[in-house]
């Protein structure tokens, strides 16, 4: 509803908005295989659309609500509670929402967790872990950022296996990216750090897509735009003893402890992103929770890997078999021209976002938690048809 001397009240009855949303979602949606921002469930999108205008029957939209008022108290509380339930997160781990994406955390983690003169291990398994190394070194130049595994030497086709990585004794932590989106690799088990060294995990591309062994981790972080909502916000899940004790005095916006003490509201937080996250958490719980997400993700990936493995070399995966991702399936065709033709024809067939990352080329199908299996079936069918026409 809009008011003003030159305007008459403008009201779209709720049943009309609902019908319009259903029609648009039914007739105008295509399959979105983008690496992020990524697919969201129609049910969540419809609720967000309604809440833009009127959330909780307050007559005010979520974008307009004060972050200090009861409505947002409820939104934030629901998001934290649903996150804990979905992720099966122990009570001795804190949950906060912070502004910015995962790249912001590359610096903040180092600032909060690496003392001057200490060492932290950062195995390099792809572009995002490589960027984390650079940012950590710049953030704390008085510390040592050790790289016990250099995946670039292997064209990032695998994560370290036994004997390939020698962790640093006494390291403050080991930072790793659990699922690597560009080349489509994954740690099927957490890496082995030196005894007593906790893990810090960038789980942006697979958080809530499979269970996490929380007791091995000091901190887990993830950006919202792949698995639980929209860009501009990260969730930080950290043990109380870690998050409450930064290793140096920091400006409040850089300090996880300060964010915790302020209840994720040092300043005006990304309110819409937090609301979207809460709705996504609840949607995943309704679908059966984290184990159901894992089951679905494995099934979606298996459909595409079956086409790759059965193509006689027409399609070639970028990752080794033993560390394939169930979230991002990356592959190439015989040459770059065929890659481009595949991507264009797929787009024409309403299979969007399949062009591979610039660092790897080829094709990449990103199938995050909200992607239905029907999309993977459609892509598998397209792959068969394309090979028949071009093989």
Q: Phi then psi for 96, rounded to 5 degrees?
A: -130, 155
Q: Which of 51, 128, 300, 339 is catalytic?
A: 128
Pairing of the two strands 185-186 and 199-202? unpaired
Answer yes or no: 283 catalytic: no
Nearest-CA neighbor of 163 among 174, 184, 148, 152?
Answer: 148
Query: How does DSSP assign 317-373, residue by residue?
Result: ESS-GGGB-SSEEEEE-SSHHHHHHHHHHHHHTTEE--BPPTTT-SEEEE--TT--H
Residues contacting 298, CB < 8 A, separation 6+:
326
Q: Phi then psi for 266, rounded to 5 degrees?
A: -60, -45
Answer yes or no: 51 catalytic: no
Q: How many CB atoms lie within 10 A of CB 315?
A: 24
Q: Phi then psi for 10, rounded to 5 degrees?
A: -110, 115
Q: Which of 121, 226, 283, 300 is catalytic?
A: 226
Answer yes or no: 300 catalytic: no
Query: How does DSSP assign 20-76, residue by residue?
Result: HHHHHHHHS--EE--SSS----HHHHHHHHHHHH-STTSSS-TTTS-TTSHHHHHHH
Residue that the structure tokens 């996880």 belong to = 256
Q: Which of 202, 283, 300, 339 is catalytic?
A: 202
* Catalytic (active-site) positions: 128, 202, 226
């Amino acid at each position: 509803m809009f008011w003003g001397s030159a305007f008459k009240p403008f009201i779209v009855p709720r049943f009309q908005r609902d019908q319009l949303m259903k029609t648009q979602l039914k007739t105008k949606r295509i399959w979105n295989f983008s690496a992020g921002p990524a697919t969201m469930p129609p049910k969540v999108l419809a609720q967000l659309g309604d809440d833009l205008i009127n959330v909780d029957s307050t007559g005010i939209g979520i974008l307009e609500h004060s972050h200090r008022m009861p409505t947002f108290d409820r939104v934030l509380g629901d998001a934290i509670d649903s996150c804990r339930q979905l992720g099966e997160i122990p009570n001795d781990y804190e949950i906060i929402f912070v502004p910015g994406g995962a790249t912001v955390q590359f610096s903040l983690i180092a600032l909060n967790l690496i003392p001057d003169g200490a060492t932290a291990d950062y195995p390099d398994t792809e572009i995002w872990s490589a960027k984390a190394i650079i940012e950590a070194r710049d953030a704390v130049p008085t510390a040592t950022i050790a790289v016990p595994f250099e995946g670039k030497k292997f064209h990032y086709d695998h994560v370290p296996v036994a004997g390939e990585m020698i962790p640093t004794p006494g390291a403050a932590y080991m930072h790793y990216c659990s699922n690597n989106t560009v080349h489509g690799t994954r740690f099927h088990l957490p890496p082995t750090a030196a005894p007593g060294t906790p893990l810090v995990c960038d789980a942006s591309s697979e958080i809530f897509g499979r269970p996490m062994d929380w007791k091995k981790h000091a901190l887990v972080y993830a950006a919202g735009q792949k698995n639980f909502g929209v860009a501009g916000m990260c969730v930080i899940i950290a043990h109380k003893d870690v998050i409450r004790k930064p290793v140096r005095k920091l400006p409040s916006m850089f300090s996880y402890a300060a964010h915790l003490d302020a209840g994720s509201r040092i300043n005006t937080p990304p309110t819409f992103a937090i609301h979207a996250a809460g709705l996504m958490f609840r949607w995943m719980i309704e679908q059966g929770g984290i184990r159901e997400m894992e089951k679905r993700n494995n099934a979606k990936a298996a459909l595409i890997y079956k086409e790759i493995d059965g193509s006689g070399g027409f399609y070639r995966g970028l990752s080794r078999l033993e560390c394939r991702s169930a979230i991002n399936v990356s592959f190439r065709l015989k040459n770059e021209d065929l890659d481009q033709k595949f991507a264009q024809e797929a787009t024409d067939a309403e299979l969007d976002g399949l062009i591979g990352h610039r660092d790897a080329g080829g094709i990449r199908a990103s199938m995050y938690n909200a992607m239905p299996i029907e999309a993977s079936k459609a892509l598998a069918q397209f792959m068969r048809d394309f090979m028949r026409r071009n093989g």
